[in-house]
Structure 1
Amino acid sequence: MLTNRQNLILKSIIEEYIKIASPVGSKRIQEVLTMEVSSATIRNESALLEEQGFLEKAHTSSGRVPSTKGYRYYVDNLMESNDIDDIKDQINEIFKKRGATIDEILEQTSLILSEMTKLATVVATSDTNGEVLLSKVELVPISNKSAIVIFVLSNGTIQNKTINLESVSLEELRLAIDLFNERLINSKLSEIETKSQAIIPVLKQQVKKYEFVLQTLVEALIHTDSNKSRTSGVKYLLENPEFNDPNKIKDIIQFIENASPFAWFNYQSKTNKATVAIGLETGNENDDIAVIGTNFPTKGGGKGALALVGPKRIEYDKVSKLLEWISNKIEEKFLLEGE
């Protein structure tokens, strides 16, 4: 557990780094802190935060940058609400347009979000899966760091999901897939989430990170070809200094193209609260990426998801509140009003 002073220092470093995308030194921390602290104390506390994995030392500077652990701690414990009235006002005008469809509203909203946040926006909608059944699950190792899980469906569709083996061992993954084949074959996709709960006691005995494995496999099944996904704002995303490297540009574009918010997050909850995945939590081998997403119901029993993708230096507080607000607006307009 961090002390109050350490919390303030870590919060100041993260929020400053989010603004300037440069390592933050003790002098700058002293300027932005809301309490009187000497430079020596700041350096000592920063060193302790680095030892505990919340900060990383920049190679080309005396300053420090947040680690994935630091960002996660910030999101879970330190983040405060940010003023987003200007963006809300612009998006509100879109929702006021009479006769606008949900697709038109989401398209225009996505463009504004990307332009204002410098992040890529991904929108996905999913129809109900009807009578489609799970026919078979296969595992194909592709390197010592990753493997592909292949889902074969009764309508001939084949769904792939790449799994990062830093999160789960190949043997544990194989045990989980054997269990899927034994217990869930010939189940309707619409029933997979419910039926999968019955295998938790067995899975828990064999797989250390059983919750992560179960969520990953179930969400991959939910993300079928009945889903529609579109991306906006990649050009704004690439304005971030983290993606000046051509290899990183290629990696994040492939990441966006090969997945969707349904694969990134577990959207079993009916609440519109934003969910955050940071670094390797996204399932991508590039630790520089972060995703924030929320879900919303659509007509006919389907569901939708809206996510923003960018560097770990995302304004988590602002973006989380924005996505939750947009999700509520969609639900009010298209479900509660019956439009």
Structure 2
Amino acid sequence: MLSNRQEIILRLIIEEYIKTASPVGSKRIQEVMSVDISSATIRNESAFLEEQGFLEKAHTSSGRVPSTKGYRYYVDNLMKKNDIEDVKLQIEEIFQKRGVTIDQVLDQTSKILSELTKLATVVSTSEDIEETRLKRVELVMLSKQSAVVLFILSNGSIENKTINLEAISLEELKISIDLFNDRLTDSKIQEIEFKAKAILPILKEQVKKYEFVLHTFVSALLHTGNTSQLKTSGMKYLLENPEFNDPNKIKSIIEFIEGASPFVWFQTHLKNHSKPAVAIGFETGIGNDDIAVVGTNFPTQNGGKGTLALVGPKRIQYDKVSDLLEWIGHKIEEKFNQGEE
């Protein structure tokens, strides 16, 4: 457990480093401290914090920089609420616009967040298919040799399957589609495989290639999975950070952002929590200790989940970012509770 003085010194070093990206020396700490402490005392306390793993010695100067452990202690114990009312007013205006959708809100909010924080903003959403239903099946001819079968789902997505008409006649394909529409419309996707077996005797009587039809249609529907989307803003800001001058580091961050799966971390970690989650350094799950991610979950249409996250160097302004994301998460939830899409 750190003493009150050690916590003050650690907090000041982290906040100075966040602002400047430069190692922080004892002289600078003495200048910004509200109490009168000698430079020697600050050096001794800083040395102790370094020994305990909260700080690291910079190679190029006598100053120190926060470690991942130091950032984590700051986030969990020292972070204060940041006054960001002006930013909230800008975002509040977006939410209040008549007819604005959640997607539009997130797009505009992401740009504001990236511009304010100089970080990349990532919005990752996935719709849960548990309640998704089959609305109808349609046929679109491509040529005399091929056609596309469209499966329209209740969540607005459309799955398609191209059919070679040498494998099945057009007439049999139409019969199969009519049967699916008559017997399986409004069925949950998760029930399709079971219900399809019930219509097998009827299908078998009318369609010679019934096994081909059943396998093709059911597979197309079962492989819909979760419909995921990933949108980013402010990627250019990452390149402005000295931590990411190494091309290999920026490449690993881009790969991290482009893959939706890393953001499952937030969906799992935040499952029963309303507060934003923070992943620092190697906690993100990639081999890059210079990165940090702050994210919050929000509900999406049809029972799905979304994550709004900010990605950047470890010297993120955690207080400002966490406060903003928590507030935005509540605003999105309020909008859904009002019955808006």
**What aligned pairs does 1:276-287 form with structure 2 within 5 A after superposition?**
276-287=278-289
**What aligned pairs does 1:116-195 form with structure 2 within 5 A after superposition?**
116-130=116-130
Q: Please give the per-residue CA displacement for 1:126-155, whole angstroms capped at 9, x wherever unaligned.
A: 1113399xxxxxxxxxxxxxxxxxxxxxx9
Matched with 1:47 is: 47
Matched with 2:248 is: 247
Between stretches 263-272 and 27-36, larger displacement belongs to: 263-272
Amino acid at match of 2:314: K
Alpha-carbon distance in structure 1 between the residues aligned to 2:262 and 2:248:
23
Matched with 2:274 is: 272
Deviation at 1:333, TM superposition (A): 1.7
Partner of residue 333 from structure 2, selected from 331, 334, 337? 331
Q: Please give the per-residue CA displacement for 1:38-65, whole angstroms capped at 9, x wherever unaligned.
A: 0000000000000000000000000000
Matched with 1:162 is: none
**What aligned pairs does 1:22-171 form with structure 2 within 5 A after superposition?**
22-130=22-130
Alpha-carbon distance in structure 2 between the residues aligned to 1:111 and 1:334:
21
**What aligned pairs does 1:183-332 form with structure 2 within 5 A after superposition?**
225-260=226-261, 262-265=263-266, 266-267=268-269, 269-332=271-334
Q: Secondary structure at the match of 2:275?
A: coil
> Structure 2-normalised TM-score?
0.70
Deviation at 1:270, TM superposition (A): 4.5
Q: Please give the per-residue CA displacement for 1:98-134, whole angstroms capped at 9, x wherever unaligned.
A: 10111111011101101110111111111113399xx
Amino acid at match of 1:94: I
Contact 1:288 1:312 in 2 (8 A): yes
Deviation at 1:260, TM superposition (A): 4.7
Amino acid at match of 1:124: S
Deviation at 1:267, TM superposition (A): 4.4
Q: Please give the per-residue CA displacement for 1:260-281, whole angstroms capped at 9, x wherever unaligned.
A: 5632322453443100000000
**CA shift in 2, pair 1:55/1:77, >3 Å:** same
Deviation at 1:85, TM superposition (A): 1.4
Contact 2:55 2:67 in 1 (8 A): yes
Q: Secondary structure at the match of 1:130?
A: helix
Number of matched pairs:
250
Contact 1:122 1:261 in 2 (8 A): no
Deviation at 1:234, TM superposition (A): 0.2
Between stretches 242-251 and 57-66, larger displacement belongs to: 242-251
Contact 1:123 1:304 in 2 (8 A): yes
Deviation at 1:87, TM superposition (A): 1.4
Contact 2:279 2:294 in 1 (8 A): yes
Contact 2:7 2:78 in 1 (8 A): yes
Amino acid at match of 2:277: T
Amino acid at match of 2:326: E
**CA shift in 2, pair 1:274/1:268, >3 Å:** closer
**CA shift in 2, pair 1:285/1:261, >3 Å:** closer
**CA shift in 2, pair 1:28/1:295, >3 Å:** same
Amino acid at match of 2:282: L
Alpha-carbon distance in structure 2 between the residues aligned to 1:62 and 1:268:
39
**CA shift in 2, pair 1:261/1:91, >3 Å:** farther
Deviation at 1:12, TM superposition (A): 0.4
Deviation at 1:239, TM superposition (A): 1.6
Q: Which has the larger radius of gyration?
A: 2
Q: Which segments of 5 or more consecutive residues in structure 2 lack a partner in the other structure?
A: 133-158, 160-189, 191-224
Percent identity over the alignment? 72
Alpha-carbon distance in structure 2 between the residues aligned to 1:268 and 1:12:
29
Contact 1:267 1:295 in 2 (8 A): no
Q: Please give the per-residue CA displacement for 1:158-203, whole angstroms capped at 9, x wherever unaligned.
A: xxxxxxxxxxxxxxxxxxxxxxxxxxxxxx8xxxxxxxxxxxxxxx
Alpha-carbon distance in structure 2 between the residues aligned to 1:111 and 1:90:
11
> Structure 1-normalised TM-score?
0.70
